[in-house]
Structure 1
Amino acid sequence: MLRAAAISALLAISSAHAGDKTNDAIAAAVFDYFDGQGERSAERLNRAFSAEHARMIGVLKDDGETVVRTWEMEDTIANWSKGDPITDERTGKIVSMNVVDDRLAVVLFDSNGRFLDALTLAKVGEDWKIMSKVFIVQE
């Protein structure tokens, strides 16, 4: 698990650009993903992801073995949108954000202290979209 001090230091670095239009738009897409998942909102999830093109890859343990699994986001969004909203308290934090050429970004995201996501976003037209999500389970 990432240490709290390391997370705080990285958040301080990424928040140095708070209020920047590009960083704010990227953060909005990331939180559409996180909050949309909790709300079971297909609208927010589709706003966050380039659903028909995006993929999710997880490095997981299965019977003690490390396995890599891949999901199509179009199917995943349909699954995440089912059921009642999550009522348990959830916290999501941007750990770091790197933007290149104002068209490509990589965001490390702490999802509820359970998962660490590496999100790759690209600017599609005027919108920032998550193109891929790679995650690990925090231990």
Structure 2
Amino acid sequence: MSVDDFAEVGGLISAYFDGLYHADSARLRDVFHPRLAYVCATEGDEIYLDLETYMARIDEREGPAARNEPRQEAILEMSFASPRLAHVTAAMSMMGRRYLDHLTLVRQGRDWRIISKVFAYVPERG
């Protein structure tokens, strides 16, 4: 893959982090594919949502920015399987939890979009 592909996907993930930090569903709609599969794989809290249901949850929550929580986020891994398929492993802490996200991206036209978000979380140690 090209340097541009890495930069584009990195920019998309930056927008993803911003959308989550600010609980901004409009920003998140720009990063997610319309046919998003959202899956929480934390034992005892398995959740399977589509884009609209997930965005409704985002709209109902107070984002970490509103509580002045420090931003803690990182891209741990980025890989490309083809010119149209990528994977990102990302970590972040917010709302008293540490999250590990496995994001699958597809190129939709000229743009990358997250088509699946499969994640797990653990409580932050205080």
TM-score class, shorter = 0.7 to 0.9
Whole-angstrom distance in 2 between the partners of 1:85 and 1:20: 32
Aligned match for 1:33, one of 5, 13, 16: 16
Aligned match for 1:127, one of 95, 98, 111: 111
1:119–1:133 Cα contact (<8 Å) kept: yes
User: Are positions 1:71 and 2:49 aligned together?
Assistant: yes
1:37–1:81 Cα contact (<8 Å) kept: no
Tell me by how many angstroms 1:97 deviates: 0.6
Alignment coverage as a number of residue pairs: 117
Q: Indicate the SS of the match to 2:35.
A: coil
**1:1-139 equivalence runs, <5 A:** 20-50=3-33, 52-62=34-44, 68-86=46-64, 87-112=68-93, 114-138=98-122
Tell me by how many angstroms 1:81 deviates: 2.9
Runs of 4+ aligned structure 1 residues displaced above 6 Å come to none
Q: Indicate the SS of the match to 2:10.
A: helix
Whole-angstrom distance in 2 between the partners of 1:81 and 1:127: 25
For the pair shown, the structure with the greater C-alpha radius of gyration is 1
Whole-angstrom distance in 2 between the partners of 1:69 and 1:126: 31
Tell me by how many angstroms 1:84 deviates: 4.4
TM-score (norm 2): 0.81
Q: Which residues of structure 1 form unaligned runs of 5+?
A: 1-16
TM-score (norm 1): 0.74
Tell me by how many angstroms 1:21 deviates: 1.1
Whole-angstrom distance in 2 between the partners of 1:121 and 1:94: 14
Whole-angstrom distance in 1 between the partners of 2:24 and 2:103: 19
1:106–1:118 Cα contact (<8 Å) kept: yes
1:57–1:133 Cα contact (<8 Å) kept: yes
